[in-house]
Chains A and B, each alone.
Chain A
Amino acid sequence: DAGITQSPRHKVTETGTPVTLRCHQTENHRYMYWYRQDPGHGLRLIHYSYGVKDTDKGEVSDGYSVSRSKTEDFLLTLESATSSQTSVYFCAISEKGQGATEAFFGQGTRLTVV
């Protein structure tokens, strides 16, 4: 498996609180992605990064922000968690854009907002 670590692996938080999920890679890949996975929806892209401090929105970016201050770390922040953000979150990395090369996924973070 590629060197991708997501933390925490599980989290329960209360509605209205901010939450930050971390993705750490040791592969020195340029591209990093955050997806959420919900039953019946597959994987939906939240945000992605194409370099340090370079990020762009995906298809479900509302309520989420990201930051990438170092190549190896990509942070996803839920500014004020809502129950609709209960989901499994996956980080992925790719050497080139995902349109050019395969993506490697982390183990996932199960987030429950109560």
Chain B
Amino acid sequence: GQQVMQIPQYQHVQEGEDFTTYCNSSTTLSNIQWYKQRPGGHPVFLIQLVKSGEVKKQKRLTFQFGEAKKNSSLHITATQTTDVGTYFCAGPLYNFNKFYFGSGTKLNVKP
């Protein structure tokens, strides 16, 4: 079964509000990746985190990798309608070549 869990499953926010999605693994991850999928589109790579406690920023997006390398979060400050989509975390489990995706968090932003 899936061992990379992601919460929440859905999030509805008003434009300008902040948004956070969380990713948890049952095992230690060597690294974690985040992807965004727009409605009707395909997943697009956002970022990769490798180091324990790592924090990376991309404009309004902040990505964190937990100290134990078992969890990660994506925080969006002041959401915009262009942020609409599903955000996935993904990590290699057991085999460096096998990447397992979380179930995703679907973000809807009301203008």
Contact = CB atoms under 8 A, between A and B. Distances in A.
Contact of B97 (A42, A48, A59, A106): A48
Contact of A102 (B42, B45, B97): B45
Interface residues of A, number: 27
A114 interface: no
B92 A105 contact: no
B102 interface: yes
A108 B95 CA distance: 25
Interface of B: 2, 6, 9, 30-31, 33, 42-45, 48, 88, 90, 92, 95-104
Contacts, number: 67
B43 A105 contact: yes
A44 to B, nearest CB: 7
A97 B44 CA distance: 17
Nearest to B106: A39
Given A99-B92, A102-B48, A90 B43 contact: yes
A19 interface: no
A42 B99 contact: no
B45 A99 contact: no
A41 B99 contact: no
A58 interface: yes
